[in-house]
Amino acid sequence: MMHWGNFVGMGSGGFGWIIMILFWILVILGIVYIFKQVLGGNTSAAGKESAEDILKKRYAADEITKDEFKEKLAAISR
């Protein structure tokens, strides 16, 4: 009968089963991470700016005039 050697994790009392479990955990975590990135990532309200904040930044950066700022602020305040 042929002897195939003492392979780690093949019933020899090694730690191959731990490596296999860690491998599958990493694979599953990787898949979850990819899905979260593809489906929108962070969707909590804490990370989003309000329309008024964005408008204030645009006015401060001189992207819009004072009249445009007042007009748009009135439009979003309704």
pLDDT at 8 over 80: no
In which domain, by residue range, is 67 found? 16-76
Q: What is the mean pLDDT of residues 10-32?
A: 85
pLDDT of residue 4: 56
Better pLDDT: 74 or 14: 74
Residue 10 lies inside a defined structural domain of this protein: no
pLDDT digits (tens, 9 = 90+) for 65-74: 999 999 999 9
Q: Is residue 9 part of a domain?
A: no
The domain total for the chain is 1
Does the residue 11 lie in any domain? no
10 Å Cβ neighbour count for 55? 19
Answer yes or no: is 69 within a domain.
yes
Burial of 32 (0-12, 13-18, 19+ CB in 10 A): exposed
pTM of the full structure? 0.40
